Amino acid sequence: MSKAIPHGDIGRPASVVTEGSRVRWLLIGTAIAFLALFLVLPLVTVFVQAFAKGWEAYLAAFTEQDAHAAIRLTLIVAAIAVPFNVVFGIMASWAIAKFEFAGKNLLVTLIDLPFSVSPVVSGLIYVLVFGAQGLIGPWLIEHDIQIIFAVPGIVLATIFVTFPFVARQLIPLMQEQGTAEEEAALTLGASGWHAFRTVTLPNIRWGLLYSVLLCNARAMGEFGAVSVVSGHIRGLTNTLPLHVEILYNEYNFVASFAVASLLAGLALVTLAVKSGLEWRYSADIAAGARGH
């Protein structure tokens, strides 16, 4: 008979795909140190700086009129951009996952465009189209429509930057689910809309919620594209991230970090809810897989 396969030496890891303990700890240690230096430390700094002059100075940053205006504008922008992207995202994913048509791959690629292009460039595109010297700028001026350096421009730029979130999330989910359940609903006499409401939507609800959350976080935090189209008019066209920058440039560090802490807090809440959803959502996907 052939020779027996040699047994592992003592001290060897149990699995062949696991490195020796020294290498393992080096890798884990590097990862933790990296995260601490580049993620945790800055986050802590935000809160430390925000509270550097005490609780009252922190609160004072929010009693300012301009801060109120910035918060209000950020909420308005998110309240328009997020629902728009939800509707667009569902429509695009539906089209891509459930129909066959020419140019489908191109559409998928285009949806990814905002992720691959620098936000500053996306902002500039809007200035070039809608600005005073832009393509339809003169026509807009003639009709007294202000887009650039006004709220519509900010909303447009935000929509552009955040529109992949919902679609990217839903396309694979809908593709995985196929069309059999919708077909079943139609054969049972349901209209297309009824089938969508009672079958499609419940099947994608967790993925949808998850993507809305990420989309919202990005919509509220977007800086680059909004910065280009906003014009930085205090109290009028400043969103929270822009307000942070202005305060910082004015050496008003406490107020700047206080407002920044609001955004950081939003990010933390988003992360927490996202983890919760991921947990819930993966259980849902597993149930779906069992359903087949």
Partner 1 sequence: MTGSTAIRVENLSKTFDTAAVLHDFTLDVRAGELLALLGPSGSGKTTLLRIIAGLDFPDAGRIVFGAEDATKLPVQQRAVGFVFQHYALFKHMSVADNIAYGLNARKRSERPAKAEITRRVGDLLDLIKLSGFADRYPSQLSGGQRQRIALARALAVEPRVLLLDEPFGALDAQVRKDLRRWLREIHDRTGQTTIFVTHDQDEALELSDRVAVLDKGRLEQVGTPDEVQEAPVSATVLKFLGDTIEVEAIAQAGEVRVDGQLTPVVAPAGLVGPVKLYARPWQLQFAEADRAHLHGTVRSSYRTQGRQRIEVDRPGGKTVVVEASDTARLAAGLPVGLRIVGGHVFPN
* Chain residues that interact with partner 1, rule: CB under 8 A: 180-181, 183-191, 194, 198-199, 202-203, 287-288, 290-292
Instruction: Tell the smallest beta-carbon distance from residue 192 to partner 1 (Å).
Output: 9
Closer by beta carbon to partner 1, 207 or else 221: 207
- The candidate with the shortest Cα–Cα distance to 62, out of 206, 254, 268, is 254
Instruction: Tell the smallest beta-carbon distance from residue 219 to partner 1 (Å).
Output: 29
d(CA 279, CA 179): 25
Cα 164 to Cα 110, 157, 224: the distances in Å are 9, 13, 17
Closer by beta carbon to partner 1, 7 or else 290: 290
d(CA 138, CA 144): 10
Instruction: Tell the smallest beta-carbon distance from residue 286 to partner 1 (Å).
Output: 9
Cβ pair 213, 205 in contact under 8 A: no
Closer by beta carbon to partner 1, 14 or else 180: 180
Closer by beta carbon to partner 1, 14 or else 188: 188
The angle, 0 to 180 degrees and rounded to 10, between the axes of the packed helices 151-162 and 65-98 is 40
Cβ pair 40, 47 in contact under 8 A: no
Instruction: Tell the smallest beta-carbon distance from residue 290 to partner 1 (Å).
Output: 5
Instruction: Tell the smallest beta-carbon distance from residue 203 to partner 1 (Å).
Output: 7
Structure tokens at 180: 């059999």
* DSSP secondary structure letter of residue 150: S
Instruction: Tell the smallest beta-carbon distance from residue 201 to partner 1 (Å).
Output: 10
Cβ pair 238, 230 in contact under 8 A: yes
In the chain, where does DSSP find H-type helix? 21-35, 41-50, 54-63, 65-98, 104-116, 119-130, 137-142, 151-162, 164-177, 180-187, 192-195, 201-221, 224-230, 240-249, 253-290
d(CA 81, CA 83): 6
Closer by beta carbon to partner 1, 24 or else 205: 205
Closer by beta carbon to partner 1, 43 or else 285: 285
Closer by beta carbon to partner 1, 67 or else 195: 195
Closer by beta carbon to partner 1, 202 or else 265: 202
d(CA 86, CA 145): 27
Instruction: Tell the smallest beta-carbon distance from residue 101 to partner 1 (Å).
Output: 13
Instruction: Tell the smallest beta-carbon distance from residue 97 to partner 1 (Å).
Output: 16
CA 26 to the chain's CA centroid:
33
